[in-house]
Amino acid sequence: MNTAHPSGWHFIDSQGTFELQNPQQNSYVYFPLLNQAGMMSSITPRLNGDAKLGQNAFLLLPVSAEDLHNTRSARNFWARIKGQPWSVSGNSATQISNTGLDEQVTLQAGFLWHKIDRHDAPSGLRATVINFVPADDQSVELMQVTLSNQGEETLTLDPIAAIPIFARSADNLRDHRHVSSLLHRTTCHPYGVLVKPTMTFDERGHQENQTTYGVLGCDGDGHPPQGFTPLVEDFIGEGGSLDWPAAVLTDQPVLQQPDSTFEGYETIAGLHFPRINLAPGQSQHYILILGIFQPGQNLEALIEQYGSEQNISKALAETQAFWQEKLGTLRFDHQDERYDGWLQWVTLQPVLRRLMGNSFLPYHDYGRGGRGWRDLWQDLLALLITEQTDVESLLLGNYAGVRMDGSNATIVGLQPGEFKADRNSIPRVWMDHGTWPLVTTKRYLDLTGNLDLLLAEQTYFRDHLSHRGQRVNHQWSQGGDTALRAVSGEVVKGTILEHLLVQHLTAFFNVGEHNIIRLEGGDWNDGLDMAAERGESVAFSAMYAGNLSILSDLCMALVGAGVDEMQFNDALYPLLDQLSNPVDYDSVDAKQNRLAAYLDDVRGALSGKKIRLSLEAVSHDLTQKANWLTAHIKEQEWIEAEPGLGWFNGYYDAEGRRVDGKHSQGARMSMTGQVFPLMAGIASEEQTQAIIQAANRYLYDQDLKSYRLNTNFGTADLPKLGRAFGFAYGHKENGAFFSHMTVMFAYALYRQGHAQEAYHILGGLYQLSQDFDQSRIYPGIPEYFNPRGRGMYPYLTGSAAWYLFTLLTESFGVQGNLGSLCLAPKLVKDQFVQSDHISVKTVFAHRDVVITYNNPSRLSFGAYCIGDVTVNDTEIPVPPGIDSVHFTREEIEAWPEHVVIKVGLSPL
Ligand code: G1P
């Protein structure tokens, strides 16, 4: 990929390590650190950011993006040079006001560690600070500070760690900040400062607290500090501040010793290390362990484990190896260091989101740790690509969240398959939720061919809500069992196929006045939350139409595998109307009535009766529905603006008005409204061309060279859809360059065979992301770009999973087909800028597979066919002129553990 002027960071190896000069001159950058034990940190170039185990267990002060440039409560480490305070993080009043004048700062970061190097020219002191969360089972963040004298005179230094310990729930940031400090019991440990609150009070009520928060420290040989200043008010001194603190200014501060205790104050880990004389060329290490400890935890053992230069280096090397291995299963090689390195960071992102949800990084200040249904399934999609874990049980578990009314539990627990009843008195049903499980499940089936998953049984979720969140089931009370039962009291189970049917059949009948599926509490766009009554989503009606046809095919695949009939809960029968009592699909009333009867039927306990149905008949029913919906959208929702230029209407608003189309204030067009008709194959080739033209005219931004989510609907006569249209135009869900939908636009165009346009979109997103002068983000794809081109909400975004999925399955064409492998590349010549061959390493059928495409003539999709093919150097005969090559499961299973497939692309 041609990157004219790489700016900002650059990679310094092929392992994703990047370097950035003077990173502190960027106000909103941050970096994630975490492990599978649940420790989650964010860190900025000035070592600001927080560390926590969850919403209710913050070790460091919780930060939002706007707190990042206020570095006062950041991790800090002081070296008093000749009596003058100097901060290794640049957080002293003099350094802050002097930024960039005396100090050269370099950031290096990799998977998953963060290193800042700061050099104070006048004194010759260099500080190197490495932070990482070790890839083990400890809930700690480690910080190693190395002070080196690169000057010509011996330096006399007083090293002092200064890390404020928040030790409570993020809710207490404003709510009872002071009163919650009265719960704090602060103790000096031989190696550091600990806080154990007596109780917690937050939204969970008053509870006895068991957790201890603390910072332990030692020098590189394991020697403890010589004393402590454990209270913030003593550390800063009257009138002082954290960036000019009394405890650092004073030559001989009064130090506390181990076992000193204090009750009811704000705490800081003020760890004073003995004065050192550092001769020119000499270095001294300090190790800090920032941790959240459980009862009975042996803290001395932690010092043993990490508290020496050797041991912390070992922990760092293990952490780096852990992440390299984890990310090593998917690797693109365009022989383009910047693009390939960037893709490695995109590969990390779905892992981060699976561990952090949409919470715990500074921009995600709305998240409390819960995970959304839609994101849960899309993160699994990435897991299928990037990890070799037991995805089947995760898939199965997640289906336990489906309600019999087609909606689903919205509070997702931490354990796979754990769902909780909604405590919210205003329940919200997102109408798109039913579509995502099939996308992920289909990918699983394509990769494995394991159709048995569709026959596996799972329970259904129930709570106090019925009728898709419209009514309350008074027979159920909070704290009750969340498994749906039959009148007999037995837990109801249904196959995974049945769960999928429940989601899609209910949606099909749940139409509004235009015979389009109702918007309810929103769809993919979380900001469309104010049109529950009359709103309709054409976009996701198209997605349901496509899914209905996929489901129909899956039924036939089961028939092909010898499963002619299956048992279903009898309640579902009326929704499979073509089998007995057809509904007039043109009639909104008829559909609503059929659904209403069904929702009444399943509001409480089920009959428990099962019926056997022919899968061929079910498949036929689904095809009828898919065809009807497809034709309906195509006819009713197409807007022909002028010859050769048109697009689909995406929505009806709260007043039943069509949203997209010509308008007195200018054309209204949404990208979402196009993506799903394209993806589902509803758009004809002519319509696809017309959509591309319209998108280029109305959504494409010439400056940022990317597409917006929607045109500016103005302020007067807004479409009444939701809060998104209260957002400033160009931001977030109102017309931003929203990566997730943009990537899905590319995916949809690939599906239609428009590889050139699709790759242009993927390439554009990369260019925007990597253009550091504008995006000001580290490598990776952000949720969106604001009108100034700044990358917003980096790391935690579903767009990462979709970017990888699109590049792998569409561009590189590495597709599964119910267990067989199909290579159907849709590559374009821009992908062969650096080299005439590009490759991808992935996993298929438990084998490491490297696929290389040789394209000596640098041809684009449409101009090439598959030429010669070799598998581990053995030539495979292929017929001339084909555009894809297939390997059956039997063939693949005969392959060894490592497979190299080379595919030549020849002129057609
Ligand atoms: C976020 C949410 C996603 C939602 C989207 C649009 O996108 O996580 O569930 O559909 O906003 O409202 P993401 O952060 O995944 O890019």
The answer to whether residue 2 scores a pLDDT higher than 80 is: no
Give the pLDDT band of residue 151 (cuts 50, 70, 90). very high
- To the nearest 10°, report the CA torsion of 860, 546, 376, 429: 140
Cα–Cα distance measured from residue 798 to residue 183, given in angstroms and rounded to the nearest whole number: 39
Please tell me the predicted confidence (pLDDT) of residue 419.
Answer: 86
Please tell me the predicted confidence (pLDDT) of residue 70.
Answer: 86
Spacing, Cα 380 to ligand 1 middle (Å): 15
Spacing, Cα 736 to ligand 1 middle (Å): 12
Spacing, Cα 673 to ligand 1 middle (Å): 16
The amino acid at residue 30 is: Y
Residue nearest to atom 14 of ligand 1 (CA): 797
Please tell me the predicted confidence (pLDDT) of residue 371.
Answer: 83
Give the pLDDT band of residue 265 (cuts 50, 70, 90). very high
Whether residue 525 has its Cβ less than 6 Å from ligand 1: yes
Whether residue 358 has its Cβ less than 6 Å from ligand 1: yes
Cα–Cα distance measured from residue 739 to residue 737, given in angstroms and rounded to the nearest whole number: 6
Residue nearest to atom 10 of ligand 1 (CA): 524
Q: What percent of the chain has pLDDT over 70?
A: 98
Give the pLDDT band of residue 716 (cuts 50, 70, 90). confident
Per-residue pLDDT of 796-836, as tens digits, reads: 999 999 999 999 999 999 999 999 999 999 999 999 999 99
Cβ atoms 173, 295 nearer than 8 A:
no
Spacing, Cα 760 to ligand 1 middle (Å): 22
Spacing, Cα 535 to ligand 1 middle (Å): 20
Per-residue pLDDT of 456-506, as tens digits, reads: 999 999 998 999 999 987 777 777 789 999 999 999 999 999 999 999 999
Backbone dihedral angles phi then psi of residue 486, each to the nearest 5 degrees: -90, 170
Residue nearest to atom 6 of ligand 1 (CA): 525
Backbone dihedral angles phi then psi of residue 10, each to the nearest 5 degrees: -145, 155
Say whether pTM exceeds 0.85: yes
Give the pLDDT band of residue 5 (cuts 50, 70, 90). low
Cβ atoms 813, 823 nearer than 8 A:
yes
Nearest-atom index, ligand 1, CA of 740: 16
Cα–Cα distance measured from residue 498 to residue 212, given in angstroms and rounded to the nearest whole number: 47
Nearest-atom index, ligand 1, CA of 374: 9
Per-residue pLDDT of 530-562, as tens digits, reads: 999 999 999 999 999 999 999 999 999 999 999
Please tell me the predicted confidence (pLDDT) of residue 390.
Answer: 78
Per-residue pLDDT of 583-642, as tens digits, reads: 999 999 999 999 999 999 999 999 999 999 999 999 999 999 999 999 999 999 999 999
Residues 60-73 have a mean pLDDT of: 91
Residue 388 burial by Cβ neighbours in a 10 Å radius (0-12, 13-18, 19+): exposed
Residues 431-442 have a mean pLDDT of: 98
Antiparallel, parallel or unpaired: β 199-202 and 419-420 = unpaired
Please tell me the predicted confidence (pLDDT) of residue 332.
Answer: 98
Per-residue pLDDT of 653-670, as tens digits, reads: 999 999 999 988 889 999
What does the DSSP 8-state code read for residue 818? T
Q: What residues contact 84, with CB distance under 8 A and at least 6 apart?
A: none
Residue nearest to atom 13 of ligand 1 (CA): 797
Please tell me the predicted confidence (pLDDT) of residue 206.
Answer: 87
The answer to whether residue 326 scores a pLDDT higher than 70 is: yes
Residue nearest to atom 16 of ligand 1 (CA): 797
Please tell me the predicted confidence (pLDDT) of residue 72.
Answer: 77
Please tell me the predicted confidence (pLDDT) of residue 71.
Answer: 78
User: What are 229's two structure tokens?
Assistant: 């200043």
Whether residue 375 has its Cβ less than 6 Å from ligand 1: yes
Please tell me the predicted confidence (pLDDT) of residue 422.
Answer: 67
| Conformation bin of residue 167: beta by default, left when phi > 0, alpha when psi is -120 to 50 | left
Please report the DSSP string for 302-332 in residue order.
Answer: HHHHH-SHHHHHHHHHHHHHHHHHHHTTSEE
Task: Write down the mean pLDDT value for the chain.
Answer: 95
Whether residue 526 has its Cβ less than 6 Å from ligand 1: yes
Backbone dihedral angles phi then psi of residue 743, each to the nearest 5 degrees: -65, -40
Give the pLDDT band of residue 788 (cuts 50, 70, 90). very high
Q: How far is CA 443 from CA 262, 495, 531, 805, 846, in A?
A: 57, 18, 32, 10, 15
Instruction: Kindly give the residue spans of alpha helices, DSSP state H, lying in 238-297.
Output: 246-249
Find the helix or strand (DSSP H, E) in which 592 lies. helix 588-601
- To the nearest 10°, report the CA torsion of 631, 635, 638, 642: 130
Spacing, Cα 440 to ligand 1 middle (Å): 17
Spacing, Cα 119 to ligand 1 middle (Å): 41
Cβ atoms 755, 769 nearer than 8 A:
no
Cα–Cα distance measured from residue 632 to residue 76, given in angstroms and rounded to the nearest whole number: 62
Whether residue 374 has its Cβ less than 6 Å from ligand 1: yes
Please tell me the predicted confidence (pLDDT) of residue 4.
Answer: 54
Whether residue 798 has its Cβ less than 6 Å from ligand 1: yes
Please tell me the predicted confidence (pLDDT) of residue 411.
Answer: 81
Residues 255-276 have a mean pLDDT of: 97
Instruction: Kindly give the residue spans of alpha helices, DSSP state H, lying in 48-193.
Output: 93-97, 177-181
Cβ atoms 47, 74 nearer than 8 A:
yes
Antiparallel, parallel or unpaired: β 267-272 and 155-165 = antiparallel
Please tell me the predicted confidence (pLDDT) of residue 477.
Answer: 74
Per-residue pLDDT of 99-123, as tens digits, reads: 656 789 999 999 999 999 999 999 9
* 3-state per-residue secondary structure call for 366-387: CCCCCECHHHHHHHHHHHHHHC
Residue nearest to atom 1 of ligand 1 (CA): 797
The answer to whether residue 719 scores a pLDDT higher than 90 is: no
From 352, 358, 439, 742, the mutation candidate for ligand 1 (largest count of ligand atoms within 8 A of CB) is 358
